[in-house]
Structure 1
Amino acid sequence: MTALPDWMIPPRPEGWLAEDLDRLPEAPRHTELIDGALVFMLSPQRAWHSRLVTMLTVALMEQAPEGLEVGREMTIRLDERNRPEPDLLVATTPYDPDRTWFAPKDVQLVVEVVSPESAHRDRTVKLRKYAQAGIPHYWCIEDEDGAPVVHVYELDEPTGAYAPAGIFRHALQRELPFEIGLDLDKLTPRKGV
């Protein structure tokens, strides 16, 4: 077995902390912190995922009202030991070119596009953690034969958990966190089309 590089060894017995991510220039791009452990995205990203995230970013930026910022692949510092990196987020903080993370209180919507290697984290772990952090809206997007299917969740404040708010195919219309209308079929080309 090959020895780990020094930078991969946690700086303390209880693991990594959120601020440690800003001091790891050697870490691969898209490194997340989940429960004090570094999570690396090492498998190549599928073109479907990349296209969907790009098109959805553009669509949300075009529709977001003034005062909302759409961010792509930025971490959210949920707490001292958790700093996940969603595919997209919508926040109430102004653009800052030096920002490396967002606070949950500023995030209105988190979007995760499910990949085979992230499926468990996106469907269960992040769903629970984003809700516990008080983020009001969560979308989990699945690939259904090349078409995006958006599972929409809203935070149920009395329970502190997400409640399903709909499953959308072909088109998505939402009033929250702002007026959103998406033609889902135009976000990704279908195979063989």
Structure 2
Amino acid sequence: MHQSSLGGFAAPHPTDRLFFAVMPPPAVAERLATLAGELRERLGLRGRPRPTGHLHVTLHHLGDFAGLPRQRVDDACAAAAGVALPSFEAGFDRVGSFSGRAGKHPFVLLGAEGATGLAQLHDRLGARLAAAGLARRERAFMPHVTLLYDSRIIATLPVEPLGWRVGEFLLIHSLLGRTEYRVLGRWPLAGV
């Protein structure tokens, strides 16, 4: 007879994800979506491009939850409010695949060499999150925008440089399995 280690209760299935991100302005998001479609066709990829309104650079993932953890949202917002940084240019000039799960490899637009503004924002926000007890163990930060997921792995290729001026960062609530993002907070950067 099999007995659950949770006394017969299964752990709740995650329904909500929280993360901090930088999102491109709508015109740039449209250019990214066009690029994703062109590269999909040229490289013979089958994955569906990400919705234009979901294209972003993840700064910090706060976790997946069964329900929206209001206290974590409040603590994350308080931490983000302490980040001070001037606005900056974010540039991208390569595409390629990350390993991902079998059959579902992220095909991404990669940050240009010396993408220091995104790295600084990641580091400053990370320090504030750590001070608030919200830090999570993460891989090394590599600025990227996920364009689609595919079963194939594509080696890194150069693309025509594109980017945008980053004037804010956001706290996003993703409703898992529903392809829906909700902005829970936005923090402007100086000089915008």
TM, length-normalised to structure 1: 0.29
Q: Could you say which structure has the greater relative contact order, defined with CA pairs below 8 angstroms and 6 or more residues apart?
A: 2
TM-score (norm 2): 0.29
